[in-house]
Amino acid sequence: MALAYLSPSYANTQLHLHSSQLSFLSTHLSFHRRHSLRPLPRTRNARISCSVASNEAPVAVQAQDQKIKPECFGVFCTTYDLKAEEETKSWKKLINIAVSGAAGMISNHLLFKLAAGEVFGPDQPIAFKLLGSERSFQALEGVAMELEDSLFPLLREVSIGIDPYEVFQDVEWALLIGAKPRGPGMERADLLDINGQIFAEQGKALNAVASRNVKVMVVGNPCNTNALICMKNAPNIPAKNFHALTRLDENRAKCQLALKAGVFYDKVSNVTIWGNHSTTQVPDFLNARINGLPVKEVIKDIKWLEEEFTEKVQKRGGVLIQKWGRSSAASTAVSIVDAMKSLVTPTPEGDWFSSGVYTTGNPYGVAEGIVFSMPCRSKGDGDYELVKDVIFDEYLLKRITKTEAELLAEKRCVAHLTGEGIAFCDLPEDTMLPGEM
Amino acid sequence: MALAYLSPSYANTQLHLHSSQLSFLSTHLSFHRRHSLRPLPRTRNARISCSVASNEAPVAVQAQDQKIKPECFGVFCTTYDLKAEEETKSWKKLINIAVSGAAGMISNHLLFKLAAGEVFGPDQPIAFKLLGSERSFQALEGVAMELEDSLFPLLREVSIGIDPYEVFQDVEWALLIGAKPRGPGMERADLLDINGQIFAEQGKALNAVASRNVKVMVVGNPCNTNALICMKNAPNIPAKNFHALTRLDENRAKCQLALKAGVFYDKVSNVTIWGNHSTTQVPDFLNARINGLPVKEVIKDIKWLEEEFTEKVQKRGGVLIQKWGRSSAASTAVSIVDAMKSLVTPTPEGDWFSSGVYTTGNPYGVAEGIVFSMPCRSKGDGDYELVKDVIFDEYLLKRITKTEAELLAEKRCVAHLTGEGIAFCDLPEDTMLPGEM
C-alpha cells in the first residue's frame, strides 16, 4: 500500500482561512481556523498542511463560541504566594506541566502520581495545564474536580483548555499522551497522518509558547514518529529535549528476564530497548545484566532469549487486555513516571535507561534524523547522554537494522508534516504492538 | 417497606451442606460450600445464615475445580531474603495488605499508590493479598501482571485468590473495597442484606486467620453498616480496629470550604464528618477552622453553610459522574491513602481526621453499638482516640440525631447478620450518595 501526501510546498497554505467552505473536514481544522486569528509563527514549518487522505468521520464542530483561553479550575484559581508561608517557603519554584489527552485513563493515573510528588519530590510545587478536546472538555472538568477533592498540597494550579497555544504557555514539561485511536479498517499510514497532524500542531505550539528548554515526552502512538514530527515543527527547542516513551517496554523486558532467571527485577540492569515502539523493537539481552553478570551467563537458554523473550515482552499488552479487559493504563503511567524520574535524578552508577531520542550524532551508526530508542544516562538535570560502552553482535545488529528501516519508512510517510517534501508511504506490514490502539 | 430476615438462630445452619439442591442461589454460596470442608470457626457467629430475600440473578458457578489457595503471581513467587541484601537490609519487616474488589477501578488506583510507598514510606516492603471472585479471577491476574510490569522495589509479594479464609491469612491491613453494586429495582434493604452477607463472611475469615491486630478499612457500600457486620463477625479482633471510609467526604468538605473562603485547602482544618456515609452525613462547619479561625468567622454566609454546603459535598460524586462519565475512583483511592496515613503518622497538633468507628464508649452521647464517623487523632501507631474538645449547637445536634437514627435503622435491618436476633427493616428513604452504586 502506498500513499502520497502533498508537502506543505504544494498545499494551499491559506486553506484554513477558507475552511468554512470545507465543513466535511474534521475537528482539528477548527483549531487551525482559530489560529488564523493570531499571527502565524515565523518558522520554516509555519505553513499548515491539510491531509486530503484522512478517513476520519466528519464531526460537527461544537461550541464554536466557547472560551479557548485555558481556564483555571475551582480552588486552583486562587493565587498563592508560596514564599510567604511557613510550610512552603523552602519549596522550589512552581513547575508547569502540560498533559495532553488529560481526560484519558493513562493520564488519570499519571496526574494523581505527579500531584502526589512521585517524580519531583515533596518540595516541588506543581501546576497542571491540561489539554483536551472540545469533546472531552467536560471530562477535563471532572478530572480537575477529582484533583481538587484530593487535596494534594503540592498541586497549586490546574488549568484546562483545548488550544495548545494557550495550554502550552511557559510549560517546562509536555507529556503528550493524547492521540487518535486507530479506527476500523484504518491503515498504519492513515494513523501516522492523522496523529502526525496533531503532533505537528502541538510542536508548533510548543515552539511558539513553551519554555525554551521544555522536555517533551511523547506517549501517543505511533510515538517515535509523532515525536519526530513534533520536534521538526519546533525548531527553536533543542532536538535533544524530545522523547518517545519506550520505558514500559524496558520495564516489561526487565520483568520477563527476572521471571526467567528466578530473581527479583531489581537484580536486572542495563536493559535497552532499541528502535521503534512497535513489534520491530529490539529488547537487548546482549548488554543486559542480571546480578551484574551478562544475561547469557545467567540464562543459558539461548533459544528462549532469541525466540521467545522479545515476543513475551511485546505480547504483554495483548495478554493484559485479554485478562483484564482494559489496556494497561496504570503500568503505562508508572513507566512515564519512571522515564521522567530518570531525567531528574542521577542514573545509578553503571546502569542506564531507554528512551526514544533523536539519532543525529549517535555513536552506534544508527541512521541520523529519526527518533530511536537507545540507552541513556542522566546527571539528573533533565538532560541525558547516550551510553557508549555497549556491544553488538550479528543477531542484535540485524534486528536493529530492521527497526531502523521501519522508522525510516515511517519518516518518508510523514515528510509532508516534517517539511521534508512529498510524503511517500510504503509500510509493508502492521507493526502496532498488541494491546495498543 | 419492611422486610424481615431470619436470624441465625432460626436458620438451618446446615443449609450450605445441601446447597447442591439450591443451584439458584448465587455465587457466594460456593464459598460457603467450600468452607464446609474446614471446621467451622468456634465463635458465637459461626452459623452462616442465608438470606431468602436475595433478588440477585442466579449466576452459574464456574471453575469449581479451580485451585482456591491464593496463588503467588509471576516474579512474586520468588522468595526474597531482604535482610541479606545491601539495599534492603535496613528495611522494616514485610507487611501483609489484603485488598478485596482488587480488580475494580478504586483498587486499580490504590494498589499502585501503596506499591509506590505512598502510605508506608520507602523502607516498608509490602505483600499484597488480592481478593476477587471466580468471575474476576482473570482480571486479578491482569492486575498482578501490571504490578509486575511496574517494577516497584517495595512490592515483594502478590498473591491472588477468591477465598477470604486463604487470602486474609496473617494480614495486618484489610482494605475491603469490593461490594455488589445495587441492581435495577433493588431497595437499600436488599443491598444491605446482600453486601452484609459478604462482609459477615469476610469478618468471620478475618477473625479466623488475620493478624490479631489487623486494621480493617471498609469502603464497599453501605460502608458503615458493612463495617459493623464485619466487626460483629470478628469478635477476636478489637472493635476499635474497624473503620468505615468517610475520608472522601471530609476531603470534599475541606475543598468546598476552601473554595467558598477563597483559600487553598491546606488552610482548612478540624473538619469532621459525623455519622453515616450517606446523604444523612453531617459535614461539621461548627468545629471546622480556616486559617485557625472558626469557619463562621471567615465565611459569614450562614445561609450557604446551613443550606448549600452539605449538599455541595454530597452532590460532588454525582456531578463528577455527569462530567467525567465515571465514578470517582482516583479521588476515592487518594482518600483511602489519606485515611491509612492518618493512622500510621501522628496527627498534626490541634487537628483531627474523620473515620467511621465503633461508638461504644464515645464521649458525644451518640448511641452505642454502631459505626459512626467521628473526629479522631492518632499517635501514628495504627490506633486512634476520639477527640474530646468539640462543641455542638442545636443545628448540629439535630442533624447528628438524624444520621444516628438512620444507622440504628440499618443496624436493625441486619440483625440476622450480627447475631442480634430477627432483622426488621424499615428504612424510610433512599439515602445513597449520588455517584455511588
A160-202 pLDDT tens trace = 999 999 999 999 999 999 998 877 778 878 889 999 999 999 9
Higher-confidence residue: B421 or A28?
A: B421
Under a CB-based contact definition with an 8 Å cutoff, are residues B104 and B135 in contact?
A: no
pLDDT tens for B338-353 read 999 999 999 999 999 9
Please give the Cα distance from B414 to B417 (Å, whole number): 5
Q: Which of A318, A435, A328, A325 is nearest to B138 (CA)?
A: A325
Strand partners, A155: A126
Give me the total of CB pairs closer than 8 Å, taking one residue from chain A and one from chain B. 148
Q: At a CB cut-off of 8 Å and minimum separation 6, what does B65 contact? A: none
pLDDT at B69: 61
The complex's ipTM works out to: 0.85
Of A42-46, B249-253, B309-313, B386-390, the one with minimum mean pLDDT is A42-46
Compute the CA torsion angle B15, B21, B27, B31 (nearest 10 deg).
Answer: 50
B151 touches chain A (CB under 8 A): yes
pLDDT tens for each residue of B284-314: 999 999 999 999 999 999 999 999 999 999 9
Q: Do B316 and A145 touch (CB under 8 A)?
A: yes
Rounded (10°) angle between helices A188-209 and A223-232: 40
pTM score of the predicted model: 0.85
**How far is the alpha carbon of A117 from chain B, nearest alpha carbon, in Å?**
9
| Whether A363 contacts chain B with CB within 8 A | no
Distance from the A304 Cα atom to the nearest Cα atom in chain B, whole angstroms: 17
* Contacting residues for B84 by C-beta, under 8 A, at least 6 apart: none
Q: Is pLDDT of A44 > 90?
A: no
Which residues of chain B neighbour A259 with C-beta distances below 8 Å?
Answer: 74-75
DSSP notation for A277-337: SSTT-EEESSS-EETTEEHHHH---HHIIIIIIHHHHHHHHHHHHHHHSS--HHHHHHHHH
- The class level of CATH for B247-415 reads alpha beta
Per-residue pLDDT, A189: 84
Are domains A71-244 and A247-425 of this chain identical in fold? no
Is A153's Cβ below 8 Å from some Cβ in B? yes
Q: With an 8 Å Cβ cutoff, is B108 touching chain A?
A: yes
d(CA B139, CA B144): 9
What pLDDT is attached to residue B86?
85
pLDDT score at A86:
85
Determine whether domain A247-425 maps to CATH 3.40.50.720.
no
List CB contacts (< 8 A) between B338 and chain A.
151
Shortest alpha-carbon distance between residue A431 and chain B (Å):
22
Question: Considering just the CA atoms, what is the radius of gyration of chain A in Å?
Answer: 22
Cell numbers placing A258: 527476572
Q: Given A109, A139, A333, which is nearest B325 (Cβ)? A: A139
Chain A within 8 Å of B335 (Cβ-Cβ)?
Answer: yes
What is the grid cell recorded at A155? Answer: 498541586
Contact flag B151-A325 (C-beta cutoff 8 Å): no
Contact in structure between B30 and B20 (CB atoms under 8 Å): no
Contact residues on chain B for A113, CB-CB shorter than 8 A: 112-113, 116
Is the Cβ pair A139, B323 closer than 8 Å? yes
Beta carbons of A224 and A276 less than 8 angstroms apart: yes
| Partner-chain residue, chosen from B148, B149, B263, that has the shortest CB–CB distance to A78 | B263
Is there a contact between B150 and A252 if contact means CB atoms under 8 Å apart?
A: no
A328 touches chain B (CB under 8 A): yes
From residue A270, alpha-carbon distances to A257, A303, A387, B381, B436 in Å are 12, 21, 10, 40, 46
Q: Is B146 on the interface with A (CB under 8 A)?
A: yes
What residues of B act catalytically? 277
The residue extents of the domains of chain B are 247-415
Question: Where is average pLDDT lowest: A63-77, A144-158, A388-402, B263-277?
Answer: A63-77
The answer to whether B24 contacts chain A (CB < 8 Å) is no
Q: Under CATH, which number does the domain A71-244 receive?
A: 3.40.50.720
* Cross-chain CB nearest to B78 (options A139, A248, A264): A264
d(CA B178, CA B197): 12
Residue among B252, B273, B269, B274 at smallest CA distance from B319: B252
Segment B128-140, tens digit of pLDDT: 999 999 999 999 9
